[in-house]
Amino acid sequence: MIVTAQGIKSTDRCVVEIDAGTAATIGRTDDCQIPVPWDAFISKHHAKAKATADTIELRCLETARNTAYFAGKSVQHCVVHAGEHFIIGETTFRVTADETPLRSPDSPFEEVVFNHQQLQQVRFRDADRRLEVLTHLPEVIRDSRVDAELYIRLVNLILAGVTHAEATAVVRLSSEGEVDVLHWDRRRETAGRFRPSARLVRDVFKKQQSVLHVWEAVDESEHDYTKVAEFDWAFCSPVVMPEASWGLYVAGRSGPTELSAGDLPLQADVKFVEFVAEIVRAVQRTSHLERQTASLRQFLPPTILASLDDAGGDHPTINMELLEPRECTVTVLFCDLRGFSQRAEEWADNLRGLLDRVSQALDLMSEQILLHRGVTGDFLGDAALGFWGWPFESEESTLDACRAALGIRKAFADRRGRKDHPLADFEMGIGIARGTAVAGKIGTSGKMTVTVFGPPVNLASRLESATKQLRVPILLDSETARIVQERMPREEGRIRKLAQVVPYGMELPVIVSELVPPASDFAELSDRHIQEYERGVEHFIAGRWEEAHQCLHKMPASDRAQDFLSMLIAQHNRRAPANWDGVVRLSNK
């Protein structure tokens, strides 16, 4: 059986065939077999229509907000025969018999493959009417919320623009080479089902150009006419997309008069439909690029997005292959808020307010990561992960990570000075480590995440935890510290070696250093102080704890980093243990 759904507007129309013994769902969503997205009075999943040989059994679902109307009565269930109709909301559903489908013969009498230059030479004899139809195309594309709605609207628009077409369809070729009809409609509702020429559709997708087939004209008075062919001409124009390609198929018949592919009306029709296909293709490609860009914008800085843009080619898109996971050298930054658990208890009656404050903190972190050309990875509760060195390698990667860390530190410090600011009482800790890891995207272009995993991620996290014990905001591993020491101007940042430690949960010792702001931003810790502190660290590692104590004692009172080593030295009466190896093993996070 065939069900034709017709809304108030002529463009709100959908034709669906239902095989006997099967059921179709009527509703507004894309997964319904009879989609009616234009009708707000119809629920997302409103009713089931089950077909028999000559009837449709309609049954409203529990999710339906309104009843159906059949024979002037409100009903939840009814049986509709061929030639009858029912109404839901503002849409009329007509039921017609499912006649034996007729198809055009697959061997054409004449075939024409059109190129763009050929069609440019064709002139419209009814340009005003065609233009009037085309003015609705932006509305058709803009107002189509799902693919099914776009197909419905395009079919109706083409039927309005190609007046002597009998049927139109949106088609595609499956991976098995079979022709799938995504949506079809015809001018005469009683004419039965419509089946396109498989050979024509395959030719179009093979050649990626509009193709016209003309079959020998047959007199309708001949007894076997309907058994031979329903149409004597058809053409199809491809809509080639990066994700999935489909085509606009148009067919009709001229009757007993002789027809050839050279007829100007047919060529003008091909030009019109190809023009529609080109506009749809351009808009869909732009939308595809926008979806990809929107998906990646939260992870990648604008400079990387611009480098990934393949818009100069025939298919403007993001080069997603460059984003595939791969092993590379990365610098990882792990930033965590201080005292979040305690604040969660204090703000138990206003968790939404706490969430807003944490969101502002995470925004601040990610803003600095993206500003310094980093990639934002996961947000883990009140922590942010950023990394550099993927998808492109850069000599500035490690320095950029440190610049981002200094930017985060400064931003939090600025807000601590403003008592009325939501982040005034927040502090943070940052760990940065460099090494080999696997980085890349996980998911699809529409919904995805970017992540990194490997030893430097674990180390950066452990260093962030260690900032609480070593009492400094930013800790670096030895490789990161070396690069900063050699290449970062002291006007941007400075390095202070703090200790040799084994972070909690790890086995190998790491020489950790603090990343210190330049003297212009952090005058209380001078370069002389840093030199004296590092002398103390050397004494401490070597076991000369009395000398270490004397060096650390010269630090300004505001410097809390000295407290860590000073406390250990004091606990052992300024004498290193007999088995001292220069390494402090951190016993907790």
- For domain 306-488, give the CATH number: 3.30.70.1230
Angle at the Cα of 555 from the Cα atoms of 510 and 581, rounded to 5 degrees: 30
> Quick one: angle between helices 147-161 and 127-134, nearest 10?
170
CATH topology of domain 2-96: Tumour Suppressor Smad4 (2.60.200)
102-289 adopts what CATH topology? Beta-Lactamase (3.30.450)
Q: Are strands 167-173 and 179-186 parallel, antiparallel or unpaired?
A: antiparallel
List of residues 6+ apart from 298 with CB closer than 8 A: 366, 376
pLDDT (tens, 9 = 90+) of the chain, 589 residues, equals: 888 888 887 778 888 888 889 999 999 887 888 988 888 899 999 999 999 888 999 999 998 988 999 988 999 999 999 888 999 998 999 888 865 554 555 555 677 787 766 677 777 667 777 777 777 776 776 666 667 778 888 888 888 888 888 889 888 888 777 888 888 887 775 556 678 888 888 888 888 888 888 876 544 444 333 333 568 888 998 887 766 678 999 988 775 444 444 555 678 888 888 888 888 777 766 665 555 555 556 566 666 666 666 544 444 455 667 778 889 999 999 998 875 555 555 555 555 666 677 777 888 888 899 899 898 886 666 788 999 998 888 899 999 999 999 999 998 888 876 777 767 677 889 999 999 999 887 765 455 677 888 999 999 999 999 999 999 999 999 999 999 999 999 999 999 999 999 998 888 999 999 999 999 999 899 999 999 999 999 999 999 999 999 999 999 988 999 999 999 999 999 999 989 999 999 887 6
- Domain edges within the chain: 2-96, 102-289, 306-488
100 touches 206 (CB < 8 A): no
Which pLDDT belongs to residue 532?
A: 95
Q: What is residue 371's three-state secondary structure? A: helix
The H or E element that residue 13 is part of is strand 13-17
Indicate the burial class of 183 (C-beta count within 10 angstroms; 0-12, 13-18, 19 or more).
buried
Q: Which residues face 96 on adjacent strands?
A: 2
- How far is it, in rounded angstroms, from Cα 466 to Cα 449? 28
Provide the token pair at 109. 């009498």
Structure tokens belonging to residue 184: 């079809």
Give the pTM. 0.55
CA distance 310 to 116: 23
The one-character DSSP state at 473 is S
From first CA to last CA, the distance across the chain in angstroms is 69
| Residues 459 and 503: beta-carbon distance below 8 Å | yes
Q: How far apart are CA 497 and CA 582, in angstroms?
A: 14
